[in-house]
Structure 1
């Protein structure tokens, strides 16, 4: 199984890889997202450690049951060889109706087949009001004309 684009990354292929990841996560399909990772992929997400596709699926299932109306934007920060660093923000609503914007950074490492073998994420949550929301789209993926993080001043 492979997942292009493949390392070593160029500026163009790194941006493509980031947007493909954003689109997959916005689908909120744990099974679809998990296919982009190696079978033994290792994650650190906040203070939780996850290993392998089965744990990734379980983690994402829990995440999207709790984080409703999830909308994510990722932006390339840096890349080199088989590694990519991104910054991201996503908006979501908890089961009590409170809105949040979560900000974070991820470090990714890929195998030769373009599958992610390591994902380390640091994330902070910011409560926001419904009027402070910036991520407005109704499809599974962010429309091409929707502003990215830099354009939104995030």
Structure 2
């Protein structure tokens, strides 16, 4: 079985905000001879797959500023602190994964998101565009800059 828990706290007002988020997940350890459990392990990194409902792949944890598989394993913890200042969102992320949580990898970045509502009379879905750039501080992508853009449609 797979369990994921998320919590967040946001403080701020019209001029800016501070948001802190924490996510933790675990997967039941495989029994001897159970090879399908490898698919159930968490894979952190990359964007959500656009044509598959996220409910079917809850083991994929989106982190577009690093590639898929940046961290993976039966357990994971992800902490994110972000600000909203002058329309941009600088952030810091700490993520650890594996059979035990021992080493956190760090990512710094800045992103922006635009949301466009549904236009019913021309049957356009609501659209969300998120773009940014991330900088990994730890191996395996130490000192790598990665820009990203993602588009999400909701009918």
Structure with the bigger RCO (C-alpha within 8 Å, sep 6+) is 1
TM-score after normalising by structure 1: 0.40
More strand by share: 2
- Higher Cα Rg: structure 1 or 2? 2
